[in-house]
Structure 1
């Protein structure tokens, strides 16, 4: 036997085949990627067909209930008979049939024509458990499909009331970047929920900054899809004097730099002026003018006078946003160690659900993320 390790792919081949061409490792890697991609597409197709089947079953139950006027007891009998008829297929528990009925009632139009039809069944049941109105449901469906959220992340954003906080920050985007105002406003939440930083009520700016950098993966999740971290206390030399930007990010989809300035006290109008200056600096000295669009500035503080801040924003020539954050817990550090995280709680709840067959539909890669 001998091994070819071209391009990091280790291929063990029979010795009698002789020396392999130098490109064999690349070929093997490409074929494996093709197989993996096909498997993922097949799994997604199976999930889509499963959701469509559940919706059709739900429609049948609703139609028969409307026609005959019978109650939920028949659903229990139907579940038992379906399990007997299809003993090797999961997903026909009474609770799951009730979910199917609720889905068909919530989305009466053909499910295949709607974004919700692209979500895993576990996401859909979570949405129906947590939300009441169709508008709220459709908001999270759209965001989950667009951003590829896992079920745990979807649960987190519902808990944080993203549909209320998203786009609620004070900005001047309508004037400075009118063509992209709607897209950029979606990134500006008010407030940002940074409780995972574990800071107490009296933290300093450098402590906030250090905590964000130490928890950068969680912070990027809070910001939304597309952000990449460039640097902390990013240095810029102007006329022989060095200036430092608290946090600098780059958005891979929007092709823009984002300047983040942090304040642990009330945001004042003069802070907006400082942010405007830093955005101009990045625009002139960091941005690639052939590739990147204009830089965006975010000023994040504990609170602000909305009227005064809006006047300062309106007087700025760069696209800026001012928003708030919450980053401390009322629990002591010792007590916080004893409190399970959101991921812990989500895992425990899901294990309990699986144990009682609450949602006993087949798993998909999206559900297991």
Structure 2
């Protein structure tokens, strides 16, 4: 890019943006993600101010991107699109609405500005400022809003995925917390949003037995109502054997659907009771709950007799397989369709820790979703402090 095409005033402003980048990059070795987020936040704030004052337009953003690319090739990640992403990151998360939502569901510590926020005086005293064309040192201008601590919980890439695809602040809050809890990468984050994990994890828990809810109070937060198996490419007509074999072949994707705390142990796990041997379709171990988890696969709609079979397997697991330091075994019936009334009747008196999950999405009232989000945030706060 020909520097002669840029006037001195605009070049100094561009240099101020570069200063922001360099200041944060120098700290990246200490806290890479935090510094990347702070960089995006401060650059986004600076550019946002210029755009809102109409001092800059879209053409200037393109010039800024090209200026960084040509004059500072060592600085990567500042395409025109990504600069606008930084503006969105700042604009959306600096709002009073977002702060109010976080305050509503989480402790105040998650709303407070990050301790690593950098004061302007510190920038001036420690900066090796990039010299502008006329030789004057260009330093960072004060920024009005500081970055809420909660944003530190996941990556900038995940934040952009959340911001672009989730319009409700409750959804955004949930996915920030969930990405942190499950340590989600970009593709995993995309899949969670595609499969509406927000809805199916925070749904109605009448599909869980009294025994499960009493023995594992956090189960509603840890087990999904709906599991998406689109990666199997199942035909319209299939049997349970084909379903099971497909899950074994794609076990990594299946575990990502269930949750990362699941460890696969075996398929058709043999359970010998008396003179007979029975086989549990899939057996897992849940690290968080320290319990065996048996998954029974059905190709037809849920039937109450399915619960009796699963309870029998859990009894055998607890008596003959479970170790003394482990918690009672959990059972999940995975089927393509359920009648919620039938499931509720079947579960209401069951004292075995069991639940029914289905393949399809369940629409949930907003009021119920808000209550479940509150419970998820309480669970997250408790887990984060432990």
Q: Considering the TM-score relative to the shorter chain, is it more than 0.5?
A: yes
1:308 to 306, 323, 342: 342
Residues 210, 351 of structure 2: 8 Å contact kept:
no
Residues 208, 356 of structure 2: 8 Å contact kept:
no
2:39 to 53, 72, 79: 53
Measure the CA separation in 1 of the matches of 2:309 and 2:318. 14
Q: Tell me which residue corresponds to 1:124.
A: 159
Measure the CA separation in 2 of the matches of 1:171 and 1:114. 36
5 Å-filtered alignment, 1:244-259, equals 244-259=279-294
Measure the CA separation in 1 of the matches of 2:30 and 2:285. 31
Task: Quote the RMSD (CA, aligned, Å).
Answer: 2.6
| Cα gap change, 1:179 to 1:86, in 2 (>3 Å) | farther
Q: Tell me which residue corresponds to 2:48.
A: 62
SS at match of 1:50: helix
2:180 to 131, 134, 145: 145
CA displacement at 1:205 relative to structure 2: 1.1
Measure the CA separation in 1 of the matches of 2:352 and 2:210. 11
Residues 40, 86 of structure 2: 8 Å contact kept:
yes
Q: Tell me which residue corresponds to 1:275.
A: 310
| Cα gap change, 1:55 to 1:295, in 2 (>3 Å) | same
Measure the CA separation in 1 of the matches of 2:356 and 2:238. 20
2:207 to 149, 163, 171: 171
CA displacement at 1:60 relative to structure 2: 2.6
5 Å-filtered alignment, 1:290-309, equals 291-309=325-343
Measure the CA separation in 2 of the matches of 1:189 and 1:231. 21
CA displacement at 1:257 relative to structure 2: 0.7
2:355 to 292, 296, 321: 321
Residues 332, 354 of structure 2: 8 Å contact kept:
yes
CA displacement at 1:44 relative to structure 2: 7.2
Corresponding pairs, count: 284
Residues 127, 137 of structure 1: 8 Å contact kept:
yes
Residues 170, 310 of structure 1: 8 Å contact kept:
yes
CA displacement at 1:147 relative to structure 2: 1.5
CA displacement at 1:206 relative to structure 2: 1.5
Measure the CA separation in 2 of the matches of 1:171 and 1:306. 7
CA displacement at 1:128 relative to structure 2: 2.5
Measure the CA separation in 2 of the matches of 1:302 and 1:88. 52
2:93 to 94, 107, 112: 107
CA displacement at 1:240 relative to structure 2: 2.0
Residues 232, 247 of structure 1: 8 Å contact kept:
yes
Residues 171, 322 of structure 1: 8 Å contact kept:
yes
Measure the CA separation in 1 of the matches of 2:215 and 2:71. 57
Measure the CA separation in 2 of the matches of 1:125 and 1:309. 38
- Give 5+ residue unaligned stretches, structure 2: 1-26, 100-112, 115-146, 361-386
Using the size of structure 1 for normalisation, the TM-score is 0.69
Measure the CA separation in 2 of the matches of 1:303 and 1:44. 50
5 Å-filtered alignment, 1:184-195, equals 184-195=219-230
Match status 1:160 vs 2:200: no
Measure the CA separation in 2 of the matches of 1:275 and 1:165. 23
Measure the CA separation in 2 of the matches of 1:152 and 1:44. 26
| Cα gap change, 1:220 to 1:136, in 2 (>3 Å) | same
Q: Tell me which residue corresponds to 1:4.
A: none
- Give 5+ residue unaligned stretches, structure 1: 1-40, 327-369
Measure the CA separation in 2 of the matches of 1:175 and 1:214. 32
2:252 to 190, 209, 217: 217
Residues 44, 86 of structure 2: 8 Å contact kept:
yes
| Cα gap change, 1:279 to 1:43, in 2 (>3 Å) | farther
SS at match of 1:145: helix
Using the size of structure 2 for normalisation, the TM-score is 0.66
